[in-house]
Structure 1
């Protein structure tokens, strides 16, 4: 996800083929869950109407592979503010590639953060195992939201936990509670990955990509 607004100008030009295009694009964070939104704010025909869809397509393409480990970028508002077209040497492909270049360079300069899905997790456990359950959730970057006492000697804990940390949790829960606890979870929201985790994730992804070459 973008952290800052940025205005970026990009030129695409080839030496072997007569192709040229210039676009000036503003990138800014959108509302959570809004996806990609394209706005054409060009005035005076600086970018001919037949090339505007190519700019939008180039921006959407660039957002499919962001600078952080190649993960897609979401919730972005991209505004086409200006551009330059040549009466002979411009083409849809030239404008599409100019938009790709502007978007990729803009993302690198704007500052990026990874998002991850966070789950609402509900664990029901006999009271004697609650300390172990809370410790396990905390070790998984969980944040306790509430606890309620059910009928009998059971407590229900509710916590927000990143989905990435819930792998094999059922086995851990059964082992630590003698199989007497149960849990459920559902998607809650996307949230920022801590910077240390972001660095580890992107580093591992880059290493795998390098090993595949």
Structure 2
């Protein structure tokens, strides 16, 4: 099987193409916001470490509750369109609120309620993709779904890695950003910072005397 083979069913099927585009856009949106959340919360909007931790806990609870609840409703009523519209509306409102009224109450409302609610669209997109994949040959379905996951991870990981350079990776990792999707990129940014500081200094200053004697 060639590398392009899993993409052919997606390009031929409008529903799978829609799911692929939504996953890429959702991943890019999450990766665009996530690297800045901790820095904005603490340095711009003045939240304490405890307050930001409470916000992350609330966001996690809301995200889990809405994802499970909306999934149950979608299975019972077979009306995924209404659920998708609600989640996308929450995503749009949360993003617009921060753009138009950047204040502490707006930040808390957006990141503790609206954006966590919008995360339920992720499960709905994959449910749509699984249904659409049933029209494909059974042997091709796992490759199609894996390709969709890879597209999401590519948009999420690459975008987060590009943007985390503008934020202190060590500060992001230590201030609770590990609970967000770009945690790996943030920890990698912290490692790059530490390596850059070490290589920018003379060797004699970076190695303690005990280490130098041991190396001899």
**What TM bracket, shorter-length normalisation?**
under 0.3
Q: Which has the higher contact order (CA 8 A, sep 6+)?
A: 2
Normalization by structure 1: what TM-score? 0.27
Greater strand fraction, Structure 1 or Structure 2 = 1
Normalization by structure 2: what TM-score? 0.27
Larger of the two Rg values belongs to structure: 1
